[in-house]
Copies of this chain bind each other. A is one copy, B any other.
Amino acid sequence: MTNIQPTFRALADPTRRDILLMLRDHDMTIGEVAENFDMTRAAIKKHLTVLSDGGLITVRAQGRERINTLNPLGMAPVLDWLTFFDAFWDDRLNALKSVIEKDNT
């Protein structure tokens, strides 16, 4: 379980990443999110579904509205995957870093 693919997929679209940044400030309904983009509510709804499938947001009903909330924990698996390269970085990134720093001085 804990399939990482839906999360990577959710992060791959710029509109969805923008939505995540917006939700960082406060929860939003679908309509509120849609106001910030030049596309229909239906399109935004699809994006929110993808984000939900990726575990990056949670949705709760409140009357006729749907409140979308950021779930930062959903990013953990992605971060974990990326840190698989930590060992690699220790060896080569540091070497590169010192070269760059040398270049900037």
Contacts and interface: CB of A to CB of B under 8 A. Distances in A.
A84 B89 CA distance: 21
B88 A73 contact: no
A79 B80 CA distance: 11
Interface stretch (A11-19, A33-41, A60-68): A11-19
Interface in A54-86: 70, 72-73, 75, 78-79, 81-82, 84-86
Contact of A8 (B5, B12, B79): B12
A32 B24 CA distance: 43
The A contact surface, by secondary structure, is helix
Contact of A70 (B5, B14, B86, B88): B88
Interface residues of A, number: 26
A9 interface: yes
Interface of A: 5, 8-9, 11-12, 14, 17, 20-21, 24, 70, 72-73, 75, 78-79, 81-82, 84-86, 88-89, 92-93, 96
